[in-house]
């Protein structure tokens, strides 16, 4: 979970479609569907998308409940306009249970899906 993050895109419909799919395994849904698109989970609105000039130099991670959700989000990224980068794996250099997969969204931003739970 993030506190909140707002990204800008030149491809609003593509990004909204991408994030609707890949954030579902993490429990997210589109809550605000106005000029700014607000996604949230558990009563929080913490991810926003708005039209504008994107920056590809952004990396952000969404925490999931378990490793299966990381796997699902990563798989969906390739099916919904994103580019899969690194398949989900344990990254012991971070900590023994850090399990993450990495993909790029339609604007090229690096998105990480991570679980901190034991297998």
36-75: pLDDT as tens digits: 999 999 888 889 899 998 876 788 899 999 999 999 999 9
User: Which domain, by its residues, includes 68?
Assistant: 5-115
Q: What pTM did the predictor assign?
A: 0.78
Number of domain units in the chain: 1
Whether 101 contacts 87, CB under 8 Å: yes
H or E stretch covering 73: helix 67-79
Bridge partners of 101, per DSSP, are 113
For the stretch 85-89, contacts whose Cβ atoms lie closer than 8 Å and that sit 24 or more positions apart, written own/partner, are 85/110, 88/113
Strand partners, 97: none
Q: What is the CATH number of the domain that holds 63?
A: 3.10.180.10
d(CA 92, CA 20): 30
């Amino acid at each position: 979970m993030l506190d909140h993050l707002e990204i800008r895109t030149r491809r609003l419909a593509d990004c909204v479609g991408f994030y609707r799919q890949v954030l579902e395994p993490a429990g997210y849904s589109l809550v605000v569907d106005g000029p700014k698109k607000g996604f949230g989970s558990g009563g929080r609105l913490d991810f926003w998308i708005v039209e504008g000039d994107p920056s590809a130099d952004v990396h952000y991670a969404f925490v999931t409940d378990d490793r299966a959700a990381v796997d699902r989000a990563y798989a969906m990224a390739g099916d919904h306009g994103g580019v899969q980068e690194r398949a989900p794996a344990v990254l012991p250099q971070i900590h023994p249970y850090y399990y993450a997969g990495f993909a790029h969204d339609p604007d090229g931003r690096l998105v990480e899906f991570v679980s901190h739970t034991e297998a």
